[in-house]
Amino acid sequence: MIRTQRLAAGVCALLAALASGIAFPAGAVADETTALAPKVDLVLDVSGSMRTKDIDGGTRMAAAKQAFNEVLDATPEEVQLGIRTLGATYPGDDRRTGCKDTAQLYPVGPLDRTEAKSAVATLSPTGWTPIGPALLKAADDLEGGEGSKRIVLISDGEDTCAPLDPCEVAREIAAKGIGLTIDTLGLVPNTKMRAQLSCIAEATGGTYTSVEHTDELTDKVNQLVDRAADPVVTPVATEGGSSCPKAPTLKSGLYTDREEFGQERWYRVDVDPGKELRASVSVAADRTMNPDHGLLVRAFTTHGREIVRGEAAGSGRTDVISTGLRYPKADSDDDDAPAETVCLLVTNSFSAASGVKTTPGMPVELTVDVVDGPSQADDVASFGLGRGWWLLGALVLFGFLAGLVWGWLSRWRVAVWRTN
């Protein structure tokens, strides 16, 4: 009897061990997924100035609420999202109290869209603009985990709680080395606000964008939230050369550089037969400059023949100007055919306003991608005709025959007229 009980106990213990052994990996996988989940904290300015009616006929607050609702609907499932406010609760004049007015409206975590929208609906423009304190608290909101971390700050004015300088706060956050990026969006910005929000973004490698319409705000916040879900790509610092022979050779990847006003920067890319080069360049206007400027990227052979170009013009209404190009390298019957070296030249026509420093150069982001080239039919299509060659031939033949018939009819009519 005792032996039977011991055997039963041993079997139970074995089954329990097996069950726990099977269950543990699933829990471990869940914990690992949570730890790697990207986190985003949307930080919204709810100060009194958000009552201003200058965005598509409505208030800035109404535009922000509409944008937030659309963003919440589109947020990827894997993103843990939270919402923090600044200036949302204290309407008084006491500066010390007003500069503490930041609160977590919705905690960073798995998103309940209905609950988050209900929280956003309660917001009403109220008080001060404590950007610095809000950024410090937002960094705390994002603590823990190994996934990407991003703060998206939306404001319509500069900080009102100096001497806690938001730029210094952003630099302090960057210095912690926690991989947190701050992107800023300025609603109907002025010069001071643009400078401050640009400084905050630049300190952490983020972006600054001016916004004057509701759809622009929605699109940009959606883009930033989606970007948080993308694999983190660390840009590689490079330095373009003064000529193609002196240029660095780049592989597929993301690169950063600096370019002064009116300067040329050269880069080299090796493109194998049957491959396609795709390159895009963005230059950030991180200081006051004259309007009506342009950006040009051109691809050359090593012998100086221009292959293709991309260009963009700016009017000073946006803070980033971008352009790009594509170059499909023809395939070769020779399996040992060498790669072609393509020289990329990036130039700009920016000019500095009076008193503005021109050094260091403006931030440049260069994306290089060498991918499988298009098929022969697609290659023709990329130059505008594609499979329409047969249609073009049919049209030419039809035109020729129509011309012959028309000429014959004309001669017949003249002959009849003369006979009569």
Structurally, the chain folds into a number of domains equal to 2
191 and 45 inside one domain: yes
Residue pLDDT, tens place only, 99-122: 999 999 999 999 999 999 999 999
Residues 217 and 248 in one domain: no
Mean pLDDT on 387-410:
66
296 with 321, same domain? Answer: yes
Is residue 275 domain-shared with residue 141, that is, in the same domain?
Answer: no
pLDDT score of 8: 47
Q: What are the backbone angles phi and psi of residue 49, rounded to the nearest 5°? A: -70, -15
End position of a domain, from candidates 229, 252, 269: 229
Confidence check: pLDDT of 345 > 70: yes
Q: Which residue, 229, 245, 271, sits at the end of a domain?
A: 229
Query: What amino acid is encoded at 199 in this protein?
Result: C
Largest interatomic CA distance in the chain? 133
**224 and 241 both lie in a single domain:** no
Question: Is position 120 within any domain?
Answer: yes
Token pair for 315: 């009017």
CA distances from 375 to 182, 273, 368, 381 (A): 41, 12, 21, 10
- What six digits make up the tokens of 405? 């018939």
Residue ranges of E strands in 220-338: 236-237, 249-250, 253-259, 264-271, 275-284, 293-300, 306-314, 320-328
Note the pLDDT tens digit of each residue in 19-61: 444 444 545 444 666 778 999 999 999 999 999 999 999 999 9
For the packed helices 191-203 and 166-175, what is the interaxial angle rounded to 10 degrees? 10
Specify if 252 maps to a domain. Answer: yes
Q: Are strands 58-59 and 53-55 parallel, antiparallel or unpaired?
A: antiparallel
Q: Considering 201, 229, 257, which residue would you say is the last residue of a domain? A: 229
Q: What is the pLDDT of residues 159-184, one digit of tens each?
A: 998 888 999 999 888 877 677 889 99
Residue 5 in tokens: 């009980």
CATH of the domain at 279: 2.60.120.380
Most confident of 157-171, 315-329, 374-388: 157-171
Q: Which amino acid is at 201?
A: A
Which pLDDT score is estimated for 418? 61
User: Is residue 176 domain-shared with residue 246, that is, in the same domain?
Assistant: no
Whole-number average pLDDT of the chain = 82
Q: What residues contact 332, with CB distance under 8 A and at least 6 apart?
A: 273, 274
List the 320-328 sheet strands across, edge first. Answer: 236-237, 253-259, 362-372, 275-284, 320-328
**Residue 223, CA distances (Å) to 209, 218, 219 in order:** 12, 9, 6
Helix 166-175, helix 131-141: angle, nearest 10: 20
Q: Given this model, what pLDDT does residue 43 score?
A: 97
Q: How confident is the model at residue 294 (pLDDT cuts 50, 70, 90)?
A: confident
Residue tagged 């600054």 (tokens): 208
Whether residue 417 lies inside any domain: the answer is no
Residues 285, 178 share a domain:
no
Q: DSSP secondary-structure letter at 176?
A: T
Owning domain of residue 104? 35-229
